[in-house]
Amino acid sequence: MPRALPILYHVKNGAMVPDVRYKKIFDKQFAEGSEHLLILSETRDRKSHNHFMAAVHSAWMNLAEEWNGFFPTEDHLRKWALVKEGFCTKVEHVCHTSAEAARLVAAFRDIDQYAVISKKGNVVLVFQAESQSELEMGGGERWRESKKKVLDRVASMSRTTPEQLKREASQDAPPERK
């Protein structure tokens, strides 16, 4: 059976009514009389998400000189910050030789351009940022914590404050709701 897709719905008169954008998926996944398990997931405020991404972009555009050329895109910066703040997976690979470890580093760079990879002798450490997608991280406490910590880190790298980044981002994306 194919993986079930998430569906946004509204509760009306005690019934789950799919959002109009999800009606076709809903009809395909939920046949009349079928039984399903409901798992509550907190949705994310789209304005907050867009505002966060605009703030990261602003930080990337204003990085301090010592970071010049280090992050080709704002996604590289955001994912690096996620790793540095612990929102990541870590895998250690012990190779037979240092040369084998160097080849492994090159292979991982081809697989995941955003991974943070380090090599010490014959040991390779690969850190991969957690996805901040709503499907993976949701809109709850983990999302809010990752957003705050990433903004704190990238603001310091831009020699500014998270509050200033948020003000600048408000020019490109509406501010997050309180």
- The pLDDT score that the predictor gives to residue 15 is 84
Answer yes or no: is pLDDT of 41 > 70. Answer: no
- The pLDDT score that the predictor gives to residue 69 is 92
Burial 24-36 (b: 16+ CB within 10 A, else e): eebeeeeeeeeee
The type of residue at 103 is R
pTM: 0.76
Q: Say whether 6 sits in a helix, a strand or coil.
A: coil
Domain ranges for the chain, please list them: 1-40, 46-169
End-to-end C-alpha distance for the chain, whole angstroms: 41
- The pLDDT score that the predictor gives to residue 64 is 95
Contacts of 61 (CB under 8 A, 6+ apart): none
- The pLDDT score that the predictor gives to residue 1 is 46
Tokens of 173: 């994306």
Answer yes or no: is pLDDT of 20 > 70. Answer: yes
Answer yes or no: is pLDDT of 121 > 60. Answer: yes
Tokens of 118: 């380090």
Residue pLDDT, tens place only, 151-170: 999 999 999 998 988 888 88
Answer yes or no: is pLDDT of 136 > 90. Answer: no
- The pLDDT score that the predictor gives to residue 140 is 85
